[in-house]
Amino acid sequence: MDDLEPMEELERDLRTAMRRQPAPPGLKRVVMERRWQARAGQRRRMVWFERLAASLVLAGVAGGAVLWRNIAERRQGEEAKQQVFIALRITNRALEQMRLQLQERDSH
């Protein structure tokens, strides 16, 4: 007998044996449930992400305010220090002038 014939018979049997099988009855329900759960989880993660982002923004704003206040206070301190130095320099100059005047008077 020709070799082709049993091969064709085998192919025919393969086609018959390998028809698509019906999926388990609960497959669609489980898929839809898992899809819903995945989306709910995604929404929960999104809420947490939004909360985290809001917290980070708030922390950034608060930190910025504290930093800005520190810088402002330091600048005010620097200005006060400079003013004290200027006052001391003026006083020093005045005292020096007085000392020179007294010295000049004593020499006469």
Partner 1 sequence: MAGDWQPDFEQLVDEHRSMVFSLAWRMTGDRGLAEEIAQDVFLELDRDLRKMESPLHACHWLRRVTMSRSADALRRRRVRSMDMWVEIDEQHGAAEERRSSPLGTRVEAMLATLPEAQRAALILRYQEDLTPDEIAATLDAPLATVKSQLQRGLKLLRAKAATQLKEYVRGA
Binding site for partner 1 (CB under 8 A): 1, 3, 5-7, 9-11, 13-24, 27-28, 30-32, 34-35, 38
Considering the complex, what minimum distance in angstroms separates the CB of residue 40 from partner 1? 13
Looking at beta carbons only, is 14 or 107 nearer to partner 1? Answer: 14
Give me 3's structure tokens.
């070799």
Give me 7's structure tokens.
């091969």
Looking at beta carbons only, is 19 or 105 nearer to partner 1? Answer: 19
Considering the complex, what minimum distance in angstroms separates the CB of residue 48 from partner 1? 20
Considering the complex, what minimum distance in angstroms separates the CB of residue 8 from partner 1? 10
Considering the complex, what minimum distance in angstroms separates the CB of residue 44 from partner 1? 17
- Give Cα separations from 46 to 25, 36, 51, 97 (angstroms): 33, 15, 9, 75
Looking at beta carbons only, is 16 or 103 nearer to partner 1? Answer: 16
Distance CA 55, CA 61 (A): 10
Looking at beta carbons only, is 2 or 106 nearer to partner 1? Answer: 2
- Give Cα separations from 24 to 21, 27, 30 (angstroms): 9, 5, 10
Distance CA 108, CA 103 (A): 9
